[in-house]
Chains A and B, each alone.
Chain A
Amino acid sequence: MSIITTTDLHKVYSETKIPVRALNGISILINEAEFTAIVGPSGSGKTTLLNMLGGLDTPTSGEVHINGTNITGLPSRRLIDFRLHNIGFVFQSFNLIPVLTARENVEFILQLQGVGKNERQKRAIELLEAVGLPDKIDNRPGDLSGGQQQRVSVARALASKPRFILADEPTANLDSKSTAELLDIMMKMNDQYKTTFIFSTHDSRVMERARRIITIEDGKVANDEMKS
């Protein structure tokens, strides 16, 4: 069942003297429980596409439908609420709240969703255990390695039980061991919770593990390969 559909997405940045065409007519369809990598050279439009899928940016033309909802037409307030309940984010630089512990970082999303304290704590601990950080629950991000921080990010992204998780170059700041561990965890979550993962990456280690690879070049889909 398709979870994301984009129709003829165009994005032109007109702020500069010469307008930049970041997306040039992208139409893709992503199904539930996919483990998809969006790849391409720098400046190809990967991040722009990811931002469109996450409702963080609006296309110049075209539409993004998530689970039947056209998010391009949603007003800002509803879009924020939509993101909170439907999309999980994992960022390249982890972007955890440094003043909160690992558990509190995971709980924060649940608190925004209005989940009660006991349930929040229970779910945060479960998820941190699931990503292999049972002993780091009360550590702040500054006390964690890059790999551990990214695992907390994954736990945070999963906390809100999103329809899919968007990960923008999640392994860019990780060493090989941490990358492997992170990918193992994400694949486990993909299998266990049937959560859809979409990455933007040019990390070959991620591409090797992805089940589908969409290659973007010059703002267009150059290749869309489904691995068996």
Chain B
Amino acid sequence: MIWFVAWRNVWRNKLRSLVVILAVALGLFGTLFMIALSNGMVEQKIDASINNEISHIQIHQPEFMQDQSLAFSLDSANQLEAEISAVPGIKTVCSRIKAMAMASTAVTGAGVMVNGIDPEKEKTVTEIYKFIIEGDYFESAGKSAPILISKKLATKLKAKIGSKIVITIQHTSGELVYGLFRVSGIYKTANTVYDEPNIFVKKTDLIALTGYDSSKASEIAILLDNVEQTDPVTDKLKTRYPALSVLPWKELEPILLALGSMIDQMSYFLLIIILFAMAFGIINTMMMAVLERTRELGMLMAVGMNKRKVFLMIMLETIFLALVGTFFGILISAVTIHYTGLYGINFAAWAEGYESWGFSAFVYPSLYLGFYIGMTVLVIITAIISSIYPAKKALRFNPAAAIREDA
């Protein structure tokens, strides 16, 4: 019956309770939505990096990461690819030839990373082909070798579809060589930092230009069935190829992990602030609720309601108040996060800023179930802590004096 009375007491002053419920609900919604937004951005960033740029795992010669030149190559790349493909958990594998070079047009030039790829095989590992905004993905045949450049680089080089680009690169003999390419496609991912230096040419064209051994490759990129398998598969490959550098995405782009941790820390900080604000709001309301019921609480103690039950009643009232707010807060959050998670939010006005940091301006908020549960538990704990002061205040009432208080 204490539970029943406490529940009824919550609705004694409907307006005041609704204000607190609304404050809790909105505070919770604000926090959860902000966290979902940050979470979504980071998840998208990680997904985009894995799917468009680095894949789950890369294999190189150990020196390659320090000096990205043709000198550090993987021998028998095709055989290596075949062996790696057979490892459980691995979805697809492809090899690339990579080297630093200079790309020039008649107007200007820029330092680039040339990716010599097998276009069809590359499709199975990265999704660059999905980001073509002009031209095509190595589909049209022409006299000159096709090259795929980013929108950012195209703007910088003042190049367009059909423009000639001269690639200056070191030949395997050590000499500098020049190759003429024609822009066949322009791509644009959400990460302009990645876009700007990366250009794609056919592996065969790069081999022809540099004299590179066709049985070799600079890197092997691996896409897994799912991201959770990164560590076990990495360990397996490290054991199998101890002389090679096997790097998971976390080591290839450590900033991605740091970003995740930073967002987590910010979320917790935001959470603490919101919970504090919530606690003070609840304390204030419950203090009012207790003080305006001095006579009634005095009566309850006079007729034999012990302190433990009085304390429990006030605590339950606080918890109910917070729980109703939490219910609505989570309901609004879940619906909004689910909807925006499906259809996304377009921050087009800030797209340039977002993309210059490697984030998509189209954000899909995301929050896992555990966070909702954790948040509910935290609000209940906050409510319990918040109820202590008003409840203790009620216990200090002298029943004889409290009964005679003016209503």
Contact = CB atoms under 8 A, between A and B. Distances in A.
Interface of A: 47, 51, 54, 56-57, 76-77, 80-81, 83-85, 88-89, 91, 93, 95, 97-100, 104, 107-109, 111-113, 156, 160, 168
Contact of A85 (B302, B304, B307, B403): B304
A81 B8 CA distance: 25
Contacts of A112: 303-305, 309
Given A77-B306, A80-B305, A99-B9, 18 more contacts: A47-B404, A51-B400, A56-B403, A57-B400, A80-B307, A85-B304, A89-B302, A95-B295, A95-B299, A98-B12, A98-B296, A99-B8, A99-B11, A104-B1, A108-B1, A113-B304, A156-B303, A168-B403
A111 B301 contact: no
Nearest to B11: A99
- Indicate the member of B301, B303, B407 with the most A CB atoms within 10 Å: B303
A84 B303 contact: yes
Interface-central residue, A80, A83, A107, by most chain B CB under 10 Å: A80
A103 to B, nearest CB: 12
Contacts of B146: none
Interface string B347-381: 00000000000000000000000000000000000
B152 to A, nearest CB: 66
Contacts of B399: 56
A80 B1 contact: no
A80 B299 contact: no
A120 to B, nearest CB: 9
Closest 10 CB pairs of A and B: A84-B304, A99-B8, A56-B400, A95-B299, A111-B1, A51-B400, A57-B400, A83-B304, A80-B306, A56-B399
Contacts of A156: 303
Contacts of A111: 1
A164 B295 CA distance: 22
- Which residue, of A54, A81, A108, has the highest number of chain B Cβ atoms within 10 A? A108
A100 B307 contact: no
B403 to A, nearest CB: 6
Contacts of A54: 302
Nearest to A111: B1
A108 B304 contact: no
- Which of under 10, 10 to 19, 20 to 34, or 35 or more describes the interface residues of B? 20 to 34
A83 B307 CA distance: 13
A107 B303 contact: no
Contacts of B398: 57
A108 B302 contact: no
B297 to A, nearest CB: 10
Contact of B302 (A76, A83, A97, A107): A83
Interface string B299-335: 1111111110100000000000000000000000000
Interface of B: 1, 5, 8-9, 11-12, 295-296, 299-307, 309, 398-400, 403-404, 407
15 contacts: A47-B404, A56-B302, A76-B307, A83-B302, A84-B303, A95-B403, A97-B5, A99-B8, A99-B12, A100-B8, A107-B1, A109-B303, A109-B304, A111-B1, A113-B304
A76 B305 CA distance: 12
A134 to B, nearest CB: 22
A108 B5 contact: yes
A100 B12 CA distance: 11
Contacts of B11: 99
Given A51-B400, A93-B407, A83 B303 contact: yes
Given A91-B299, A91-B403, A95-B299, A100 B306 contact: no
Given A95-B295, A99-B9, A111-B1, A89 B400 contact: no
Nearest to A99: B8
Contacts of B295: 93, 95
Contacts of B9: 99
Nearest to B303: A89
A107 B306 CA distance: 16
B267 to A, nearest CB: 39
Contact of B304 (A80, A98, A99): A80
A151 to B, nearest CB: 17
Contacts of A57: 398, 400
Contact of B296 (A83, A89, A97, A168): A97
Contacts of A160: 304
Contact of B301 (A80, A88, A109): A80
A83 B303 CA distance: 6
Contacts of A51: 400
A79 to B, nearest CB: 10
B166 to A, nearest CB: 85
Contacts of B12: 98-99
Most buried by B among A56, A107, A111, A168: A56
A108 B3 CA distance: 12
Contacts of B302: 54, 56, 83, 89
Interface centre among B301, B309, B400, by most chain A C-beta atoms within 10 angstroms, is B400
A163 to B, nearest CB: 13
